[in-house]
Each structure stands twice: as structure tokens, then as C-alpha cells.
Amino acid sequence: MDLVKLSNYRDLDKDSKADIDQNNYKLIFESAIMGIYHFDVINNKFLVVNPELARILGFEDANELMNEQNRLQLLNILNPTRIKILDLLDKADELYGYESQLIIDSKRIWISENIRAIKSKNKIIQIIGSVKDISEKKNLIERLQVTKDDWQRTFDAIEEVIIILDKELKIRRLNKAALKEYNTFTDNPEGVFCTNLYNIGESHCNTCPARATILDLQPHAREVEYESLGKTFLTSSLPIFDENEAFVGVVFIAKNITEEKKLRIESEKRLQQVIFADRLKSLGELVANVAHEINNPNNYVLQNTSLLKKSWNVFQPIIGDYLKNPNHDAFDVKYYSDLSSEMVELIDAINVGSKRINNVVQNLKGFIKPEVDSFSSLSVNEIIKSSLKIIQSKINKSFDTFTLDLGRNIPSIIGDLQKLEQVIINLVVNSIQARKNGIKRVLKITSRYVERLNAIYIEIYDNGQGIANDIIPKLFQPFFTTRGHEGGTGLGLSISYEIIKKHNGIIDVHSICSVGTKFKIYIPVEKSELGFLSSRMLCIDNDDSIFKKDIICFLGESRQTMKRLSGTKKLCEYLKVHPEIDILLLNASIINNIHKVVIELQEINPLFELIIFKAKNSTQLKRLNNIGIKIVEAADEKNIINEINKLLNSLSR
């Protein structure tokens, strides 16, 4: 049936127009490119469906579909899988683009519906819907999603950092490795500037290859060290162009080479150490030869001085008798008289000098002998003295004041003489190298017997530049050195540590930058086990109740840290037998003259960390502040504890 032309349609009567309208609507309904249905909600049945809906559901025509109620029930608005539509239509009357999935003969199809509700007294009585098959679109989206997921999995599986940036250096995409390495964002950081990802501001932009690529549109590669991250990366960047060859962004790739770099540096150091060790071996052979060459002529001198002295004793009276003869005008009697009185002293001086040369040579020869453990009963004081003979001249040149405070009646230890000499020499050389300009250099070596530990304590103190807090934990590691540029090997302290360990001893260091350094050695007598070393902290107070939990908990140490002592003399005596203590907490309210006590303590040990609390006298506080003493100004106990803990956290440990 053809549509009636508009000009003829106007001339028709009302009934004819109605017939024509009905026929036209039927033609449009049957020719529609979308499936259409009319559903009676009250009677739960489909009133009409069009051929396109039949085609979508796999039928030849609409009549066949209307007769196949099982198939048609897939679109039933009362179907449990579609009942939600009624709830939505109750609220909105119309739905557009409502997507759902239908399973027809094990085949899955996707449809999109526009649905309108016909209501009577606010109750849905009929549904009119149009249906569009979107299976192809959905399948395409699924395939694209699978492809995208595969690409993303591949992208994330790459161990190197990959970040795609736009031309403003904003992040468009990044892989899991990037989030792991930079660990800055918990949410997706797309659209954020790359500097925010690194959390480094713009401090590294000048070395970033991505910035260079933006400037010249060329690939770049650089090794970049991010100090804020504590990591080193081998980075590269490539420009991205669109189909019109317009620049749109940068691909940034980075590989974490922090460990590789450490290993490379360590390998280079070890290579240098091998070379250095070979040089030391050659030097040892050279020193042995030189010592031998010096020793031979020196022995001639040493042996002949005694003959010279005997000869002088024989010839002196003969020459004296000769000079009594008046016929010796050509001879200077006064010259002979002076020479005669000095000759014995000159010969003795030659003999002493020759013996000193012999001692130095013997010490050198002993020092370069191959390492073989040779334990015997030894005097620590003699070890210190013999060690100093080798480097005494260096000590004299390097220090303005040198003090040797060796304890009396110190028991012997069981040890290796040469290796313990090596430890003393290494530590003294370390002090010599701790240069600090503008002050009078001081070196002090102390030894004493600590009865409670049944051990010998050796202390080597210098007022040099000190050691930074972050370096102290690495100090005894093999090949660690801060003097690599000066030829340092990083072996001296690690070797010393191993030697003391072989003697069942302990070597420790306490240092404050710009104040000085103290190396402490504990060697047990008769190679026994060391006794308990108590805390490094001593609290001087008449009531330790406020410290029982907080300070103990903070330090993680025993209650032996808590002592009640009265009087500086008694305190000094206690510190002498507890050389491990280097932190003192002083309650100023129980000490008459805290300033005087502090001065006396600093004279005992310049490296004492002194923390003063409960100091009420403002004059005292000012004087103590002027000499750099740490003051806790809090009044109540809780705040005192908090402030002390803050100070303890900042100390050089």
C-alpha cells in the first residue's frame, strides 16, 4: 500500500482519513529498522510485535514470533531478569538506551531498548518498547577490552619504569613498575605533572632526558640520581608523533640501577684494593730489603762504637802525657781539652742513635711479617709502647699535645702481639688523619683494668673533626672509606675490628662532629668472655620514678642505667670503671653548682653528651647554653620525658 499524497489527503472525509492513517502507521510499524513491541502489563501478554523484532530474535516474521511465547517471554517485562525495568519506569516513565543480554538457543545477544510506560492513575498498564541489536558493538568493545587488557598486562609486566607523558610533561599512562619505584600515589596519577610523581619538585629537571626530548624532539639517555628517593636510574626518552607527524608527547623509560651501581662501585673499590694489596706486598718486600740494607751498616756502627770507646780510653792518657811536653806549639791544647771532655759523650750518643735505628728496623721487620696467629701472655702497656715507637715521629708532627695515661698493675692478656700492635697503629693513624684546622691538636691514649668486666680497657681520643652520625654504622665495614680520593683503602678499621673480635673483645667508637672521636677497646683477661656492658646512659637523680618506664622503654636497656650518686668525686670514680657511659642525664635541682660539675665532667671526657633537666636558675641556664650543653626547660614530668627523648633521638649514636 502506498502513502496517500498530502494534497489528496486533505480532500478526504474523516473516516477515509482514519483508514489511511491506520494503514500508514501499519506500514511504518512493519518497515521500522528497530524492533518494536507493545506489552499489556495487566494481562501479561504481548499485544503486537514487528518483523524487525522477530528478525532480532531469530524468526522469519512477527506471526511466528507471536506464536512462540517461550521465545517472546525473554522480553516479558515481568521476567525476573527484567523486573527492574518496572521500578525504573515507575520513577521516570521513559527509559533510553537500556542495555540487557538475551540468551537465545545458547547464543548470546545484546539489545538496547527505548521504553515508554502507559499509565492509568499512576499505575503502569502497558509498555511500548523499541529494540536495537547491539551485539556486534558489544563484541567489538569486548575484543577491544581484551586487547587493552592484554596490552596493559604486557605493559605492567615490563620491569623497567615506563611513563607516557604529554608535551606538557603531564602523565598520561604509567606501568606498575613506575608506581612501585616512585611509590607516591595511591590513586591513578594521570594528568599529574611528572615532578609530582617523583616527589622531587623541579630539582632534577635539568638532567631529565624527557625535558631534553621536548626541547629538541630527539631521543635522549642519561643516568640520573634522585637523592630524595635514594635511587639511581638509567633513563631514556623517545618523542611521540601523531599520524600528521605532530609532536604529542614523550615515552620515558627508567631502569633502577641503584644496586648495580653500588656493585659497580664496590667492584671498582675491590679492584683498587687488590691493586693496593699487591702494592703493599711489593712495599713489604721493599721495606724488608731496605731494613736489611740499613741494618747491616748500622750493625757496623753499633759494633765499632764500643771499640772506639775502648780505644779512646787507651789513647786518652797517652795523648795527655804527650801534651805535657813543651815542644807542641802547633797543637791547640784548649781544643784537645774540650774534645777530651766531650769525646765519651759523643761516642755514647752515636751508640744510642745506632740502637734507636736498630729498634726502628726491628719494629718494621716485625710489622711486615706474614699474618700467623701467635697468642701468648702480653702486657697491654708494652703493646702500646712498642706500637708508638713506629709512629712516634708522626705523632710529634701531628699533635700539639700527646698524653699517655697507662694504668698500673694491669693484668696480662692472651693475645697476638703483632696484630694488637697493628690495631693501635691503625687507630692512631686514623686520629692523625682526622685533621681540623685552627685548633691545637690533642691525642690521648689511656689504658686501665676494669675489674667488674675482668677486661683491659684501651681508649684513643683525639679532638679532630669527628665522624658524622650516618657514617658511624658503616665505619667497621670492609672497604668503607671517606678518604678514597686521598688513597684510603677502608681496610684499617675493618681489620682492627676482626683482630679485636678474635681476642673475644669489643671495639666501639663515640664521636661528635667538630668535637672529637674516641675509640674504645675492651679485651678480656685470659681470653675469657666479657662481662655485661651496661647502658651508655647514666641518670643522676634522687628519684628515678619518672624514668622507670619511659626512658627504659625508649632505650630498650636494663634498669642498671638508673643510679643515684652524690658528689662529683664519687661520680668520677664511677665513670672510671664504667668507660662505656657517654650520656649523662643530670637533675640540676639536686646539684649545688651545676656549672662547676659540668666543667669537671667535660675535663674528664670532652665527648660526654650532657642533658640537664630541672634547672631553675636562669643564670645557670644561660651559662650552660653558652658552652653548648643541652637543656630541658620543661617543668612537668611528662614534658621532661618527651623533651629528653627528642634529644636522645638527635644524639650521635
Share of the chain above pLDDT 90, in %: 8
pLDDT tens column, 490-516: 667 888 888 888 888 888 888 888 888
* pLDDT value, residue 294: 78
User: How would you classify the pairing of strands 171-174 and 161-166?
Assistant: antiparallel
pLDDT tens column, 517-535: 989 999 998 767 775 565 5
CATH top class, domain 158-256: alpha beta
Distance between CA atoms of residues 275 and 639, nearest Å: 57
Residue 650 has pLDDT above 70, yes or no: no
Q: So what's the architecture of 32-134 in CATH? A: 2-Layer Sandwich (3.30)
Mean pLDDT score, 444-457 = 88
List of residues 6+ apart from 270 with CB closer than 8 A: 479
Region of residue 556 (phi > 0: left; psi between -120 and 50: alpha; otherwise: beta): left
Beta-bridged to residue 128, according to DSSP, are: 38, 116
Report residue 153's pLDDT band, with 50, 70 and 90 as the boundaries: confident
Between 326 and 110, the higher pLDDT residue:
110
Distance between CA atoms of residues 471 and 77, nearest Å: 77
Beta-bridged to residue 423, according to DSSP, are: none
| Complete edge-to-edge strand list for the sheet that includes strand 455-462 | 401-406, 442-450, 455-462, 516-524, 506-512
Between 552 and 429, the higher pLDDT residue:
429
Mean pLDDT score, 569-593 = 78
Angle at 556 (CA atoms; ends 562, 610), nearest 5 degrees = 50
Closest among 610, 591, 606 to 648, alpha carbons compared: 610
Q: Crossing angle for the helix pair 258-323 and 333-367, nearest 10 degrees?
A: 150
Between 28 and 423, the higher pLDDT residue:
423
Q: Which amino acid is at 213?
A: T
pLDDT tens column, 375-411: 788 899 999 988 888 788 888 888 889 999 998 889 9
Lowest mean pLDDT among 231-240, 480-489, 582-591: 480-489
Query: SS3 of 222, please?
Result: strand
Between 258 and 197, the higher pLDDT residue:
258
Q: Which amino acid is at 82?
A: R
What Rg value do the Cα atoms of the chain yield, rounded?
A: 48
Report residue 488's pLDDT band, with 50, 70 and 90 as the boundaries: low
Tell me the H-state helices in 446-549: 492-502
State the chain's mean pLDDT as an integer.
Answer: 77
Core vs surface per residue 231-270: b (16+ CB within 10 A) or e: bbbbbbbbbbeeeeeeeebbbbbbbbbeeebeeeeeeebe
* pLDDT value, residue 1: 38
List of residues 6+ apart from 643 with CB closer than 8 A: 613, 632, 633, 634
Region of residue 298 (phi > 0: left; psi between -120 and 50: alpha; otherwise: beta): alpha
Report residue 447's pLDDT band, with 50, 70 and 90 as the boundaries: very high
Closest among 370, 394, 395 to 288, alpha carbons compared: 370
Give Dmax (Cα) for the chain: 185
Residue 10 has pLDDT above 60, yes or no: no
Distance between CA atoms of residues 457 and 54, nearest Å: 102
C-alpha cell at 477: 665495614
Closest among 424, 404, 417, 393 to 493, alpha carbons compared: 424
Mean pLDDT score, 225-251 = 84
* pLDDT value, residue 445: 93
Whether the CB-CB separation of 457 and 380 falls below 8 Å is answered with no
C-alpha cell at 500: 679485636
Share of the chain above pLDDT 70, in %: 77
Whether the CB-CB separation of 214 and 223 falls below 8 Å is answered with no
Q: What is the DSSP letter of 532?
A: -
Distance between CA atoms of residues 460 and 440, nearest Å: 17
To which CATH superfamily is domain 537-650 assigned?
Succinyl-CoA synthetase domains (3.40.50.261)
Distance between CA atoms of residues 89 and 334, nearest Å: 140
Other CB atoms within a 10 A radius of the CB of residue 320 amount to 12
Report residue 12's pLDDT band, with 50, 70 and 90 as the boundaries: low
To which CATH superfamily is domain 375-527 assigned?
Histidine kinase-like ATPase, C-terminal domain (3.30.565.10)
Mean pLDDT score, 271-291 = 68
Per the listing, cell 525495568 goes with 85
Residue 324 has pLDDT above 60, yes or no: yes
* pLDDT value, residue 460: 92
* pLDDT value, residue 187: 61
Between 200 and 16, the higher pLDDT residue:
16
Distance between CA atoms of residues 466 and 431, nearest Å: 9
Distance between CA atoms of residues 258 and 593, nearest Å: 54
List of residues 6+ apart from 559 with CB closer than 8 A: 548, 552
Closest among 573, 542, 539 to 559, alpha carbons compared: 539
